Amino acid sequence: MTTVLCMAITGSTPPGRKHVLAMTSIRYDDASVREVPVRDLRLADFTWSMPWRSFRSVQGQTHYSGRYASATTAGPVVYESRLELARLLLADMDPAVRGIYAQPCRLTARVGGRVRQHVPDFLLAMASGTVRVVNVKPADRLADPKIVEALAWPGELIERHGWEYEVWSGVDRTVLENVRFLAAYRRPDVVPAAVIERAWRSVQDGDRLAEAERRLAAGRPDHEARPPVLALLWSGRLTTDLSRPLSGDWVLRRSA
């Protein structure tokens, strides 16, 4: 979902006021901050970057924050709500996503005659070579015109730069539960690589999960053959309809 709202984002200012260029502020792991005009922004600018905001969990806080061990980044990615964690899980499982940056920067621009600032939730580096900036917001809050306006001007700025912009509000509950379950198989040390490759050679396009397990088990209990198949589903080498609850009837498709 992309929020669209036309508004003036300019680099010009009324007489007597300081000129404000649309800028990106990026924080790095050496504690330095680099200012980059949005028009000059490149994905490489985020190498060795850190989340713009720092936070810690404290007793009694109203939001749910933490660090997620991402397979895509081979390291922790921060999130500030359960909804952000859900979007993070989907990005981590998506083979089209090659990089994930949480709270990647602070955007500053003059919008409607005043200076505005915004910190996006995620920046995704896509395998296609493009970049997608993601803001996560509950669907019920998108009924608030102030929220819509606050999310719209960063989108206009990002899309004008030639990158993608997404406002994400959730996904089907069954899909999310399945992705959460499959995430247990995201780390390479959970199932040995040789076992995964043996499963890959065994599973045929159109197999149901139960028959693929039975063939792979070769006389052992069928459930013992399930982990490598689930690891293949997490990696995207196998796909299935995740809108259906996990069962032996899942139809498996081999990716091209």
210: pLDDT strictly greater than 80: yes
Mean pLDDT of 202-227: 92
Cβ atoms of residues 122 and 104 within 8 Å: yes
Same domain, 132 and 198: no
Asked if residue 177 is part of any domain, the answer here is: no
The predicted structure's pLDDT at residue 4: 35
Asked if residue 125 is part of any domain, the answer here is: yes
The predicted structure's pLDDT at residue 17: 39
**Phi, psi at 225, each rounded to 5°:** -95, 0
Q: Partners of 109 in the beta sheet?
A: 116
Same domain, 116 and 211: no
Same domain, 28 and 152: yes
Same domain, 34 and 160: yes
The predicted structure's pLDDT at residue 63: 63
Cβ atoms of residues 89 and 183 within 8 Å: yes
Asked if residue 225 is part of any domain, the answer here is: yes
Per-residue pLDDT of 47-56, as tens digits, reads 999 999 876 5
Per-residue pLDDT of 153-163, as tens digits, reads 999 999 999 99
DSSP state of 58: -
Q: Partners of 125 in the beta sheet?
A: 99, 131
Please state which of the ranges 21-35, 43-57, 125-139, 190-204 shows the lowest mean pLDDT: 43-57
The predicted structure's pLDDT at residue 12: 37
13: pLDDT strictly greater than 80: no
Same domain, 230 and 161: no
Same domain, 46 and 17: yes
Structural domain containing residue 55? 9-168
**Confidence class for position 91, pLDDT limits 50, 70, 90:** very high
Asked if residue 2 is part of any domain, the answer here is: no
**Confidence class for position 60, pLDDT limits 50, 70, 90:** low
The predicted structure's pLDDT at residue 54: 78
